[in-house]
Structure 1
Amino acid sequence: MSLVSIAERFLRERRPGRALTMLARARIPIFVPDRFALRHPELDIETTSPLVGDYVREVAPGILDGDVVIKDQIDVAGARTGIGLLDGGHIAERDATIVARIAAAGGRIIGKAKMTELGIDGIGTLMHYPMPKNPRAPAYVPGGSSTGSAVAVAAGLARYAVGGDGLGSIRIPAAFCGLVGLKPTRDRLPRDGIHSPVRTLDAVGPITRTVDDCARLWQVMAGEPVIDIAPHRPEVVGVPIGGPLRVSSTIWRAFRRVLDALGTRAERVALPHFENVTFLGGMTGAYELASGKYADRVATPTGRMSRALGSSFSPRDVERLAQHRGELAAATERVFATTPILAMPTTAIPPPALSKNLVACNTEILMLRALGAFTPLANLCDLPAIAVPCGVDDRGRPLSVMFVAAKNRETDLLAIAKAVERTGLGRMLVA
């Protein structure tokens, strides 16, 4: 019996301490390619494409006028929707509404983008495919779960990508690949043709190289008039006190440098349970996976453990999760009454280095906490959030800042992101 199977048994028996002990001892191998990008010989690297398969639909010219990739959790008529599952998913009979809007606006859909199994992994380990390397930092992970979406844009295969964000799955790969990623309010977009195991957390949104492209794709997806976004520098932003982990000193310097360049004052704000957002997000996601229609289809060790953990919850556990989530959401609403924007680093650490032992479970747990130290706040409270490049460290790894706004205030976030972009900090070294 494998260590993962034993840990699953302990969770079924409501013995989480024993389960975590087994996980800490387990080493789960993954395949990590030595090179990258079949379609980019100038990088002297060659392996997997970030796309599940090529899929080209000719469209009339329109406002988007560029190639688009769609995350493999979203239906594109005639293409397979795999959701990162080993069993291959289903062939979509019709476009999701957001896909139809993109095509009608001149977006040339060239493929479905690879994703981690059911969007569970934030590192970018595609257990059923080789991992595409990060075009901006080839020795480091690209992030997930919208791995293929971010890599395709960063590598120049597409101008636009649509990703999905359950606990940071747009913003983390956007941050690691030096891109702009917008996680919108969940119900701002039609939900038909979008498949997710985390039914109350997930939202789909754009990943692009520039804020203007992000705004354009967002407006098309939302069915809104396509207009230029003027940059806006907020006078004050709220910076939440505490957090699950200490932030890398380089990332914190990059974050402070952005606020200084904008001339924005930081005001510390207290949010209940903010230090536990990674835990609350992970537990909510595990419960929704275990109680949903995809529970029996997971095949990876990470997916199986999430399912087993979610299956072990008692009604009281579920009630407490909902209570803490409600308290956090109510507190953010009170903060927004006086401080309309929250600001924080997108991740607590820069992109981790690729390693064949990356998913040794004791390492992965700590790493996922660092990747998702801040991003789950927006999902738990159904708030829009945007990740914006804010520099590179001395190893060439992209760094990113995140802004969060009240529900339906995506335009405010795009305006601030454009102001950050205009500072020119996105590709500057953080000393």
Structure 2
Amino acid sequence: MPTNSSCLTQHHWDIFCTVVDNYGDIGVTWRLAKQLVAEYNIPINLWVDDLLSFSHILPKLDINKAQQSFFGVNIFQWNNPLDIEFKSGEVVIEAFACELPSQVKGQIEQLHHHSDTHAPTWLNLEYLSAEDWVDGCHGLPSSQPNGVTKWFYFPGFSAKTGGLICERDLFNQRDEWQADPKHKLALFKQLGLQGINAQDTVISVFSYETEALTALCHLWQASPTPVHALIPKGRSLNSIQSLLPCAIEDLIPGQQFIIGSLTLHILPMTDQNGFDRLLWSCDFNIVRGEDSFLRAQWAAKPFIWHIYPQEDDYHLVKLQAFIQIYCDNLAPEIATTWSEVNLAFNQGNTNAVVMHWQHLLSVNLPLMQHAIKWPINALNDADLASRLVQFVNNS
């Protein structure tokens, strides 16, 4: 007897993403979607609730279009309730504990109880964390009230976790880029940034608000050599409004402001490939969230991670967990200096961040060497997409 075609799963994966904090969640899911298509030839339907924020990292996206395709990924406007027909694929991923639409959960349940079909694998892709407990929670099943099993997939730094997002050829591309200074100078010119010489210190800034950034800018003003801070319009600028001659909303990408030895450059928004190249081109990167945090590590440059503040300072627990594994093979004086800079920046401790930044300059070379070795160690033989595909095949 022929099977009811409406109950058959399609040969694609569905990923649902609720955009939080503008770029973080969608940044991760967009990278994963592109990689699954490019490297595993898996058709991906990406459902996103906020196309406007998404368009900041995918400038060609039409925010008024309900369905469109880029890099082989089918992008759908996720309205609630869904106003586009949904046909479940082989895998359904809810990114970062977003709530799946009732139509989707209903279809998963229907397929689960239909004897002639293979029900889709339902995954909750969690946030990245370096905490120890992730090892024990990755891959655990959760039985839902409707009898369906949902699996928890935790990215992480150990072999027992779901791994880290990293495209197959990324490190080769980075090494070729960094081998010749003409690449970074061409990028700066393309971004409309003027007056940057190859030997100048260039720092990218993509942080939340903190007085620690204000303190560092004052320190950079008195530097004996030129310092360029590259800052996009957004939350970082709220911390240095006092240094600007106009309101933040009046700033234009490409503008620059010279304050002593420091030149502030206003960056245009860029796509993800452009952001990667920006991180590769700077001497130091200050990043936030999850996607930028990981890309700063892959850039093989020293960085500060400004983690999203949480109640009872729980974000500092997450920061300390990462510091512990990042500094595992570092000499004590270098580990202490880098750790203290990160802690001071996250605590908004202006005096401490200035003092430890000055110490950081004296250990820059070994810190740089560590930053170059770290990506290979952190990848732990297999990236997140590879482990994810294997997990689905085994589930």
Normalised by the size of structure 2, how large is the TM-score?
0.23
Higher normalized helix content (fraction of residues) = 2
Normalised by the size of structure 1, how large is the TM-score?
0.22
Find the structure with the greater CA-based Rg: 2
